[in-house]
Amino acid sequence: MKKIALNIKNLNKIYKNNIFALKNISLKVLYGDFFALLGPNGAGKSTTIGIISSLIKKTCGKIKIFDIDIDKNHSKAKYYLGYVAQEYNLNQFETVENILFTQAGYYGFSKKCSKERIYKLLKDLNLFKQREMIVRKLSGGMKRRLMIARSLVHNPKMLILDEPTAGLDIELRKTLWDYMYNLNKNEKKTIILTTHYLEEAESLCRNVAIINKGIIIKNTTMQSLLKKIDETTFFLETKHPLQKIPNIKGVKIKKKDSYKCKISLKKGTKLNEIFKIFDKTKIEIVSLRNKSNRLEKMFVNLIEKHKT
C-alpha cells in the first residue's frame, strides 16, 4: 500500500469575521504524488495551504505530514515541508543569496555547510548571476524563483506551492513546470500546487481536488477529470515560423499565419503532447491562449452538479 504524505481530516476554518472558509475538509495525498488543488477565487485553497504550513491557525481538524501530527510535533512536521506563498513575501532590502543563507540559518545550517546547496539552487533556478542583487531590483519572475529556491533550502520531502506561476509569461511558466516535474520525478518530492491554469495541472499533476466555498466537491485523478472536458481550442503564437505543421494524434492544427495557429484537442488528449512536439521541432511557443476558459467552464459544471 502506498504511504500517505499528507492526511487532512475534518478540517474547519472560521475566520474572525465569521467567514466559514473551510467546511470539514478531508483529503489524502500519497507519497511522491503531484497533486493539484483547484478552485475558483475565494474557494479556500490558500487557507488550506496556510494551515498545512502552520501560518494560519485552524479552527479544528487533524493534519498529519508524513505521519507526524502538526499539533504534536510541529517542528518536525515543518521540517518536512517547503512552502511557497501566493504573495511575494521577501525582504526587499536583502540580497538574493542572503535570503537563502538566512533561511538555512533558521533550519540550523551554518553558512559553510549550506553554501554548496544554495549555489546549486541558485544555478538550477537561473539566479546565480543575480546572487548579490537586492530583492527590490528583481523582476517578478526572479522573485518567484527565489521564493521557490528558499522553500527548498532545507531539502524538504514535500513542497507546497500556492499559484507558483501566476502572472509569469509562458516561457518562464514552462521552465518552472520542467523544474517542478524534475523535483517530483528525480528527487521524489511530493508536490502540491494550486493554480488557475488548467494546462499547468494537466501537464504536471496526477491527482486533483476541487474545492468550492470551502467544500471539496471532487477528488479524482487528473486523467478522469480531463475526460469530462470536450474538445478544447487554443490559440498559439510562435517565435519561429510554422513551416511544416506537425502531425499529432488527437490534435487538429489550423495555421492562421506564419506565427499563429489554432489548435483543437480531442477529449482526453493532453496539452503536453503539443509542447513535446513543438520542443522537438525547435519551435518556441511565445503565447498560448484558451478560446474559452476551460477551468472556469469545468468549475461551473461541477458546482452545478454538486448542487443537485
Ligand X SMILES: Nc1ncnc2c1ncn2[C@@H]1O[C@H](COP(=O)(O)OP(=O)(O)OP(=O)(O)O)[C@@H](O)[C@H]1O
Q: Which residues bind ligand X (CB under 6 A)?
A: 15, 17, 19, 21, 39, 41-47, 86
Q: Which does 141 bind (CB under 5 to 8 A by kind): Mg ion, ligand X, none?
A: none
Q: Which triple of cell numbers denotes residue 25?
A: 475538509
Three-state DSSP string of 283-294: CCEEEEEECCCH
Q: How far is the CB of 211 from ligand X (least distance, A)?
A: 7
Q: How far is the CB of 305 from Mg ion (least distance, A)?
A: 24
- Binding to Mg ion by residue 130, rule CB under 5 A? no
Nearer to ligand X, 19 or 60 (CB): 19
The residue from 46, 48, 184, 207 that contacts Mg ion (CB under 5 A) is 46
Residues 52-91 interacting with Mg ion (rule: CB under 5 A): 86
Residues 85-124 interacting with Mg ion (rule: CB under 5 A): 86
Q: Which triple of cell numbers denotes residue 2?
A: 502506498
- Binding to Mg ion by residue 48, rule CB under 5 A? no
Q: Which does 15 bind (CB under 5 to 8 A by kind): Mg ion, ligand X, none?
A: ligand X
Q: Are 156 and 82 in contact (CB under 8 A)?
A: yes
CA–CA separation, 136 vs 296, rounded Å? 34
Nearer to Mg ion, 86 or 219 (CB): 86
Nearer to ligand X, 50 or 263 (CB): 50
Q: How far is the CB of 226 from Mg ion (least distance, A)?
A: 23
What is the rounded end-to-end Cα distance, in angstroms, of the chain? 35
CA–CA separation, 147 vs 135, rounded Å? 11
Nearer to ligand X, 86 or 290 (CB): 86
Q: How far is the CB of 229 from Mg ion (least distance, A)?
A: 23
Q: How far is the CB of 162 from ligand X (least distance, A)?
A: 7
Nearer to Mg ion, 87 or 257 (CB): 87
Q: Which does 47 bind (CB under 5 to 8 A by kind): ligand X, Mg ion, none?
A: ligand X
Q: How far is the CB of 233 from Mg ion (least distance, A)?
A: 28
Q: How far is the CB of 55 from ligand X (least distance, A)?
A: 11
Nearer to Mg ion, 6 or 43 (CB): 43
CA–CA separation, 184 vs 177, rounded Å? 11
CA–CA separation, 45 vs 215, rounded Å? 10
Q: Which does 19 bind (CB under 5 to 8 A by kind): Mg ion, ligand X, none?
A: ligand X
Q: Which triple of cell numbers denotes residue 299?
A: 468549475
CA–CA separation, 128 vs 148, rounded Å? 14
Which residues contribute to the site for Mg ion (CB under 5 A)? 45-46, 86
